[in-house]
Structure 1
Amino acid sequence: MAMNERYEPQSIEGKWQTRWEQEGLFRAGRRPDAPKKYVLEMLPYPSGQMHMGHVRNYLIGDVYARYYQMRGFDVLHPMGWDAFGLPAENAAIKDGVHPAIRTRENIESFKAEIKTLGYSYDWTREVNTSQPEYYRWNQWFFLQMLERGLVYRRFSKVNWCTGCHTVIANEQVKDGRCERCDSEVQDKEMPEWAFRITKYSQDLLDALDTLKEWPDRITSAQRNWIGRSDGAEVDFRVQGHDAALRVFTTRVDTLYGCTYVVLAPDHKLVAQVTTADRRADVDAFAKKMAAQNKTERLGEDAEKEGVFTGGYALNPVTGQPVPIWIANFVVSDYGTGAVMSVPAHDARDFVFARKYSLPVRVVIQPASGDKLGAGETLDAAYTEDGVLVDSGDFTGMASAEARVKLAAKLEAQGQGKATVTYRQKDWGFSRQRYWGTPIPIVYCEKCDPERKGIPVPADQLPVRLPDIDTQAVLTGKGEPPLAKVPEFVNATCPKCGGPARRETETMDTFVDSCWYFARYLSPKYDVAPFDPKEGKRWLPVDIYVGGPEHGVMHLLYFRFWTRVMKLLGLSPVDEPVTRLITQGIVNGADGRKMGKRYGNGVAPNTIVAKYGADTARTYVLFAGPPERDFDWSHEQVEGVFRFLKRVWTLAATHHASSAEATYSGPYEGKALETRRAAHKCVKRVTEAIERLSFNTAVAGVMECVNALYAVGTPETPAEKAAMGEAVRLLARILTPIAPHIADELAEAYGAKASTVTEAWPEFDPALVVDDVIPYAVQVNGKLRAEVRVAADAGEADVRAAAEADDKVKAALEGKTLRKFVFVPKRLVNFVVG
């Protein structure tokens, strides 16, 4: 069959996508006896339209999925939809379209676009998190965790998004604003449900050291977010009151230097310690702080300000009274909401003390070098460890030793103890929204007068979302939407059979994405969230691809959830992912992040329609290393399209002479050169894919194609056979990158099946070693010539060849050789004087 002379991707790509699907080439489990590879990309929210960031994310995974399939692995590469969430609900508030309808339409549109790009997904495992068959198991997990004390109801201060009209997690607050809608976030006190993720804080922290194939920036971000602090709790008795202020400090060795104590403006003891003459000022300051968000208050550049309460607390080691202040840099939901201030040895405390003329007492001196003067002479705080002074029995002791012994003394006196705290807080997950998983709880005045909540029995799951009158229920105002649906709210108490009210809040959508990777293993399984036998086969995920912005949200939450699944006997592992790949951002041609905001977006379907999916794929891979950002370039897209045309033209030009050519004799001359180019390409592309250097892989293919053009038209049987072999190798190594053209070329050159079913090609070691290599020749470090010598030539042979070059002779003439530098396989340098 003759090849079309023109490269027309639109005529071949649909053909191969249909064939792949009909033949079920990407269904996991086809090789039950082979080793497994689970390759996964973070599932998308179905917005209805893909962007180039999606393309890059999925493409990284697809390269590996195809590559490992050719390497002989049984590959699981699924796709699904993170279908609950605020965008669909906010859109419903705006235009009245039911979230379920919009989500279904968006999924259909998004899926169609995905398919045009030729990704190798096993669509038999597709998951939609908004379907009852899925969120039933969110509710099941809730009940299991409630039973084990990992879910509880609390009354706490929450982050209230003024735009989304719902609670959001700490991790979703960026600079005091909602990361999704950019509206102001305010503190608000209300009841909520929370996961006790802090029970696993130390385990999550320790296990970061085992994640050797995770990017450092992600493990560092999680380490900082968990924020372990080793220190001591110290009780300061309030003078004149039967109460104590408990503070946490990492520097208990400075306790003798504490000259004042600071409370959060909303600390529960503020009213008790404030004297009558200070009441007005304290109340005014507290009101002012309540109107500010925490980011503004705690920012590094924020001015430190506070108000004296009029009250005093007793330093537990000196017995001396110290004044109690309230200030903007202390918040009630971090630590104990109270801090001891040692201005001589803490930079923030020093600034505050100088501003309000508070005492500065030096109790730590440097272990060596110049000593500190009196507190009033200091220009800045001394914050390093050192030797204690003016610290009673602990004077002369090193800071590290003093921390241990002071904590022990406090514990013996019942005034404190050594302890560990974490920055991480429990995960409040209840949301005042409709489009999410209903929380399986009812409230019965008879059986549950304290409104702690009564769990819905597991055999009554799922608690389904009711159908609603969108315009009447989704108003974005007032009580949670589900509270406006009487047929949902009114329920029967599972304990007494009397009337009860359902919980009307829904779960944070991060719950959906905590465990979806496990549901892919058996998406139709109805006995448990997934089949544990499939868990043993496929978990953990081998390669996971997604954006680094999920470092302390999704990526931390699903590490927690995997531990819960192991606790429940479902998962054989407690870490969900072995290798994490975080891709960079695709910017517009103007250098700004691509999106609606700047009107610089590029829709993938426009690229596919004009140039084909393989051009879109190859361009994104060639644009730069996956972890780096890159700027979109229409000119480079054109360049990649021209490259693929060159590949096609090469194969078409030699098709008649080389597609079926065979040869069994020795390869020499042009034939050998042709084979060398092809086998070197196999080696380079293989190594590049293994080290996540896809741009280098594409560059290797380009170099090979240039070399094959350079050898010219094959004439002898050996040259024709060599060219046929080269094209077939090109097709196979192009499979992960540009699979449509790869399969079309392979078929034209005799393949009976898709290249993804063939083994990844092996290169001949003898063909990737050059017989002749170039050496740069320098004289006093300046390049004078280049000589080509045998690859196995030694120093003497290389030197002789260099000295025989006319340009080198001229540069050496009349000079005295001081030194000869020989760098094998790279350069020689004559140092002369």
Structure 2
Amino acid sequence: MARKYDFAAIEEKWQKEWEEKGTFRARDLDESRPKYYVLEMFPYPSGRIHMGHVRNYSIGDVIARYRKMRGANVLHPMGWDAFGLPAENAALKHGTHPAKWTYENIAYMRRQLKRLGLSYDWEREFATCDPEYYKHEQRFFIEMLERGLAYRRKTTVNWCEHCQTVLANEQVEDGRCWRCGEEVIQREMEGWFLKITAYAEELLRDIEKLRGKWPEKVLSMQINWIGRSEGAEIRFPLEDLPEEIVVFTTRPDTLYGVTFISLSPEHPLARKLAAREEALLREFEAFVEETRRERRRIEEGLAEKKGLFLKAYAKHPLTGERLPVFAANFVLMEYGTGAVMAVPAHDQRDFEFAKKYGLPITVVIRPEDQELDPETMEAAYEEPGIMVNSGPFTGLPSKEGKKKIVAYLEEKGLGKPRVTYRLRDWGVSRQRYWGCPIPVIYCPKCGVVPEKIENLPVKLPLEAELDEKGRSPLPRLKSFVETTCPRCGGPARRETDTFDTFVESSWYFARFACPHAEEPLEKDKVSYWLPVDQYIGGIEHAILHLLYARFFTKALRDLGYLDLDEPFERLLTQGMVLKETYRCPKHGWLYPEEVSPEGTCLKEGCGARVEVGRFEKMSKSKCNVVDPGEMINRYGADAVRLFILFAAPPERDLEWSDQGLEGAYRFLQRVFRLVDENLEDLRAARPYDGPQERLPEALKALRRKTHQTIQKVTQDIEERYHFNTAIAAIMELVNLFSETLNKAPKEGPFWEVMRETTEAILLLLSPMAPHLCEELWQTLGKEGLIADAPWPSYDEAALKEEVINIVVQVNGKVRDQLKVPAGAGEEEIRELALASERVRRHLEGKEIKKVIFVPGRLINFVAR
């Protein structure tokens, strides 16, 4: 009697077996086989996994299992990105502690992940909120501080009032907090920074090492964010004052067109100039405050350009002209030097400013075929061209003029070539509780003193009580704040800011190589395992996490912990999981079960016509989430995995379909039945290993298809990660297996060929549906686990088609198809094509001018 496909029992059985046998335990320093490190971006323990997690981890699991079957020593770890604001906010909401909330969530999500049958080495698991993890992070910071890679300064920061914390530039999206969406304001605060700008050029240069292995979109985003600009630094002396204004410009060819100087309101000289008169200082301070409020609109180009004349003049370095000095709201301290040589004829912002304040406009660049008149210009001419009104440089093309002016300035001591970057140092101070404490002490006698290495970790005090307004409790916790100076032993105070949580995720991949080591990183193990061979995660991390991780790798290299330049060899950015949405005009977003088959709202007997929206990213707010646990209960983990891998290529967005999941489940049921119902005969047979020509036609066709499928699935996984087409090929093979089972005579080598195909199907399918394949592998009487079995290889002889299809074209249009012997040459195929009635009809009355022959594919007659 045939068995039932009891996926729940099968999956539980094999998950237990893998765990007990340590099937997926990575072996450190195993030189007998190649290593392969596959890593998915580790999750934040929010409480439940979602379908985006399932997709990410299923992709990684196929790659890990495939590499293991190809003979690699695979490291496939899992951990938890556990610090951060959501845990703090959730703890406040539920009246608990962030630590309790986080560790309970980790326990629940671990059980969920294990139900998916993912091939993780769970012995390497850690959470970033473990003191045993973050004590090493504190050590890295102290060493960066000693090397000048970490520093503290006062600066204008992005502040989220809702989250009550500072945000890095990369965490502000369209003027809003990346996490909560509230509008960001500007504040002046002291904070800690990591000097990522020290690596700007290397970060940019090493992008070339990643080409062809990382998505071009990610590389372009990083190039734009780093924002390299080549130009010149030019000095403008101030009239009647000892100071000079230093500007950076990418257009030194426009130097003769400078008619005024613009300073950022945050520039130290701006305040100094304003402070010479009490009334001007008051006016200046009001201007600074207004600029601060409008900062985001200014950066987005939405605010009106405004300025304040500082009653000072600078001297043009080449012409000696007097240039009025303004504080201007559109000049950013973060770009260049915070000072701009204003050339209104050739910069649109300067043009608008000059028009508003009645300042001169001098043309110094013209197009090759046109003169420009400042009186009639309606906009700045910003393109390169021919230099005019530029003294000895008049007549030079812009490109040549740039070089010559910079060389002249350098020779005269008036300027020099310079490269600047849009990238800014990474502000890592956060004013929230649930994060890694910054290991610094403030002593009234010794100043800023790092904690001693032997005193680490500086533990986050778990007795702290959260503030309902979101403010950190650490400044008010005497037991934490009050301490002794590590240098003089006197009374001192601890730093109460915590690290940005992106610090933890900037090096976790290295710790997986040695998660239980006393030292931060064991050199031999990280040298063996790193870099990560395949990293998988969302493209939303292109600038934040991926750029920080690249920086940290280079910094840890220079601190002597790593011996590599880049952390991730290959990057795959998977698409989102989408589901259609339903919206009622009265009740808003609806769950699918709240919509009737007729398309009306069932909520509270509403009856209104429901609008079926487009497929959107799954989210609770839009009521279009699918619970992975519920799907696993209903269909099994293998079916969920198979559907999510089959529904779309990994880099594309995936549209969720209940029918698609049911189809994946039915396919697995079918595979189970085909093996189970023929088990006695399959077990008794050995895989066929004889010559192809001895087989009858039906078995030849099946064996050929088997080896073609092995070839295709191998290529799809190895070269392209096209799991969807790999699964489609396996499905085609299963169809032919079933057809052959029903139609071919069950004699001679029949069951041997069927056994060979069965084993191939199970081996090829096992990375996607591992539980079912382990079960059927065992029932076939195979020794050992399929997870440990070698990947199948294909027989070149079996791949060869005996008869192939040749397309026949006349003037590029298909007119017939021929079945010809696989070895047929051009002459034979030409004769057969010309014998075709369909082809002759289209050649009638025409002369064949040319014949194009593509072996194995087509023949095309060009006729007139």
Is TM more than 0.5 here?
yes
The one of 456, 468, 474 equivalent to 2:467 is 474
The question of 1:611 aligning with 2:635 is answered: yes
Say if 2:464 and 2:477, in contact at 8 Å, map to a contact too. Answer: no
Q: 1:769 to 1:377 in 2, by over 3 A?
A: farther
Equivalence for 2:113: 114
| 1:290 partner amino acid | R
5 Å matches for 1:347-358?
A: 347-358=348-359
Alpha-carbon offset, residue 263 of structure 1: 2.1
Equivalence for 1:63: 62
Q: 1:656 to 1:806 in 2, by over 3 A?
A: farther
| 1:266 partner amino acid | E
Q: CA offsets per residue over residues 345-370 of structure 1, 9 Å max, x none?
A: 2233334434544332221234xx41
Q: d(CA) in 1 for partners of 2:722 and 2:319? A: 63
Alpha-carbon offset, residue 264 of structure 1: 2.1
Question: Among the aligned pairs, what percent are the same residue?
Answer: 48
Equivalence for 1:805: 836
Alpha-carbon offset, residue 401 of structure 1: 3.5
Q: CA offsets per residue over residues 317-351 of structure 1, 9 Å max, x none?
A: 11112233333321222222221121222233334
Q: 1:496 to 1:88 in 2, by over 3 A?
A: same
5 Å matches for 1:527-546?
A: 528-546=519-537
SS in 2 for 1:94: helix
Alpha-carbon offset, residue 530 of structure 1: 2.0
SS in 2 for 1:501: strand
Say if 1:282 and 1:308, in contact at 8 Å, map to a contact too. Answer: no
Say if 1:247 and 1:336, in contact at 8 Å, map to a contact too. Answer: yes
5 Å matches for 1:215-226?
A: 215-226=215-226
Say if 2:464 and 2:474, in contact at 8 Å, map to a contact too. Answer: no
Moved more, 822-831 or 693-702: 822-831
The question of 1:493 aligning with 2:485 is answered: yes
Q: CA offsets per residue over residues 271-294 of structure 1, 9 Å max, x none?
A: 444578877765554332221233
Q: CA offsets per residue over residues 733-780 of structure 1, 9 Å max, x none?
A: 111111111112222222222212111100001122222111223344
The one of 501, 504, 507 equivalent to 1:512 is 504
Say if 1:164 and 1:476, in contact at 8 Å, map to a contact too. Answer: no
Equivalence for 2:825: 794
Equivalence for 1:702: 731
| 1:793 partner amino acid | A
Alpha-carbon offset, residue 374 of structure 1: 2.6
The one of 606, 626, 651 equivalent to 1:602 is 626
5 Å matches for 1:154-173?
A: 154-173=153-172
Equivalence for 1:235: 235
SS in 1 for 2:617: coil
Say if 2:83 and 2:501, in contact at 8 Å, map to a contact too. Answer: yes
Equivalence for 1:203: 202
Say if 1:153 and 1:192, in contact at 8 Å, map to a contact too. Answer: yes
Q: d(CA) in 2 for partners of 1:824 and 1:741? A: 42
Say if 2:171 and 2:178, in contact at 8 Å, map to a contact too. Answer: yes
SS in 2 for 1:142: helix
Q: CA offsets per residue over residues 15-63 of structure 1, 9 Å max, x none?
A: 1111111111100008552110111111111111111111111122111
The one of 437, 450, 455 equivalent to 1:455 is 450
| 1:140 partner amino acid | R
| 1:465 partner amino acid | L
Equivalence for 1:297: 298
Q: d(CA) in 1 for partners of 2:181 and 2:9? A: 45
Q: d(CA) in 1 for partners of 2:470 and 2:740? A: 72
Equivalence for 2:602: none
The question of 1:9 aligning with 2:18 is answered: no
Q: d(CA) in 1 for partners of 2:724 and 2:357? A: 59
Alpha-carbon offset, residue 233 of structure 1: 1.4
Q: 1:739 to 1:230 in 2, by over 3 A?
A: same
RMSD: 2.2
Equivalence for 1:685: 713
Q: d(CA) in 1 for partners of 2:84 and 2:748? A: 64
Say if 1:735 and 1:755, in contact at 8 Å, map to a contact too. Answer: yes
The question of 1:364 aligning with 2:362 is answered: no
Q: 1:302 to 1:643 in 2, by over 3 A?
A: farther
Moved more, 387-396 or 810-819: 810-819
5 Å matches for 1:409-808?
A: 409-448=408-447, 453-470=448-465, 473-477=466-470, 480-526=472-518, 528-590=519-581, 591-662=615-686, 666-690=694-718, 691-713=720-742, 714=744, 715-808=746-839
Q: d(CA) in 2 for partners of 1:730 and 1:15? A: 21
Where in structure 1 are there 5+ consecutive unaligned residues?
A: none
Larger relative contact order, structure 1 or 2 (CA cutoff 8 Å, min sep 6): 1
SS in 2 for 1:121: coil
Equivalence for 1:378: 377
Q: CA offsets per residue over residues 704-742 of structure 1, 9 Å max, x none?
A: 112222324351131211111101001001111111111
Q: 1:345 to 1:115 in 2, by over 3 A?
A: same
Equivalence for 2:597: none
Moved more, 819-828 or 76-85: 819-828
| 1:287 partner amino acid | E
**TM-score of the aligned structures, taking structure 1 as reference length:** 0.94
Moved more, 487-496 or 164-173: 487-496
SS in 2 for 1:419: strand
| 1:603 partner amino acid | D
Q: d(CA) in 2 for partners of 1:685 and 1:189? A: 57
Q: CA offsets per residue over residues 80-114 of structure 1, 9 Å max, x none?
A: 00111111111223332100000011001111111
Q: 1:716 to 1:357 in 2, by over 3 A?
A: farther
Moved more, 53-62 or 309-318: 309-318
Say if 2:112 and 2:629, in contact at 8 Å, map to a contact too. Answer: yes
Alpha-carbon offset, residue 571 of structure 1: 1.3
Q: d(CA) in 2 for partners of 1:32 and 1:608? A: 39
SS in 1 for 2:118: coil
SS in 2 for 1:348: helix
Say if 1:3 and 1:655, in contact at 8 Å, map to a contact too. Answer: no
Q: d(CA) in 1 for partners of 2:492 and 2:387? A: 63
Q: d(CA) in 2 for partners of 1:564 and 1:489? A: 30
Say if 2:163 and 2:470, in contact at 8 Å, map to a contact too. Answer: no
Q: CA offsets per residue over residues 101-152 of structure 1, 9 Å max, x none?
A: 0001100111111111111000010011111111110111111111111111
Alpha-carbon offset, residue 209 of structure 1: 0.9
Q: d(CA) in 2 for partners of 1:388 and 1:64? A: 58
Moved more, 168-177 or 769-778: 769-778
Moved more, 769-778 or 206-215: 769-778
Say if 1:32 and 1:74, in contact at 8 Å, map to a contact too. Answer: no
Moved more, 193-202 or 297-306: 297-306
| 1:84 partner amino acid | F
Q: 1:365 to 1:806 in 2, by over 3 A?
A: same
SS in 2 for 1:438: coil
The one of 272, 285, 288 equivalent to 1:286 is 288
Displacement over 6 Å in runs of 4+: 275-281
Q: d(CA) in 1 for partners of 2:648 and 2:842? A: 41
Say if 2:265 and 2:271, in contact at 8 Å, map to a contact too. Answer: no
SS in 1 for 2:572: strand
Alpha-carbon offset, residue 372 of structure 1: 2.3
Q: 1:543 to 1:386 in 2, by over 3 A?
A: same
Q: 1:355 to 1:767 in 2, by over 3 A?
A: farther
Alpha-carbon offset, residue 581 of structure 1: 1.1
| 1:475 partner amino acid | E
